[in-house]
Amino acid sequence: MQAIPLYPHVEFSGIKVNRQEMLRYLGYRGQQMEPDLVQSLERCAALVEAAAAPRFVAAEYPCVPQADAVQVAQTLLLPGIDIQMHLEHSERCVLMAATLGYEVERVIQYHKACSMTEAVMLDAAATALIEQVCDALEEQMRLYYQASGWDLTDRFSCGYGDLPIEVQPGITGLLQSAKTIGLTCSSSLILIPRKSVTAILGVIRPGQRRSIRGCQNCKNKQNCTFRKDGITCGHSQQITE
């Protein structure tokens, strides 16, 4: 079935690594940091910013609820109760994929041979940056839909709730992300380049937003180090009917 490609204008050149998010991914809990460590963190964030070449692809498809699943474009089945709940108000959905590109991966791999500590910092910086890229893309797509009287749910990715990671190749395949942005999915279901994200957003009427991201629906709830410290990873839960 023919997709409706989306081409929102997203300015990525001004996006910088959110230092607080970078620290959160590194497990920072307010400890005092030596000046040398602060300089290393800043250097790693700057390296990722210089290496990143964000690209994305997004398209709209019809979606139809099935028994404990959602059928997208007559070819992709998204199994699970959680994705069905997420798209319960949607007859259409948006599939998106975004990546920082191969150069970020090369920089991280290079530093693994030189300094594992800096490699970990670079990885955290890249993780924070790809989330910011996705946030910027989601914001522009939402504005696009709101201009015509619609809205979007939050992002929902493979691995959230009971949506299996095995769906990943179906999303990249439907989006033809290998051709459009150089993003592929390996036989072990890993996105390549690694600092990449795929997600599903439902097209809804204003006021129907539903997100089931949050602690209660997280597979890592029992082992989460953030919850043990009385905080969250930042994926807030929001349900509005």
For the record, the structure tokens of 46 come out as 């700057």
φ/ψ (deg, to 5) at 240: -130, 125
* pLDDT confidence tier of residue 171, bands split at 50, 70 and 90: very high
Give the structural domain span for 107. Answer: 4-8+15-226
In a domain, 191, yes or no: yes
Q: Is residue 231 part of a domain?
A: no
Residue 240 lies in a domain: no
d(C-alpha 87, C-alpha 79), whole Å: 12
- For residues 104 and 195, the answer to whether their CB atoms sit within 8 Å is yes
* Cα–Cα distance for residue pair 231/222, rounded to 1 Å: 14
Q: How many domains does the chain have?
A: 1
pLDDT in tens, 78-92: 999 999 999 999 999
In a domain, 158, yes or no: yes
Q: Rounded to two decimals, what is the model's pTM?
A: 0.88
For residue 173, tell me if it sits in a domain.
Answer: yes
Q: Tell me, yes or no, whether 38 lies in a domain.
A: yes
Contact 189, 198 (CB under 8 A): no
Give the pLDDT band of residue 240 (cuts 50, 70, 90).
very low
pLDDT digits (tens, 9 = 90+) for 14-38: 899 999 999 999 999 888 889 999 9
Is the Cα dihedral 230, 231, 232, 236 positive or negative?
Answer: positive
Question: Does position 236 have pLDDT exceeding 50, yes or no?
Answer: no
Domain at 50, CATH number: 3.40.109.40
Is 26 inside any structural domain? yes
pLDDT tens by residue, 97-133? 999 999 999 999 999 998 999 999 999 999 999 999 9
* Total residues found in the chain within this entry: 241
Is 106 part of a structural domain of the chain?
yes
Question: What is the per-residue DSSP string for 160-197?
Answer: STT--GGGHHHHHHHHTHHHHTS-EE-TTS-EESSSEE
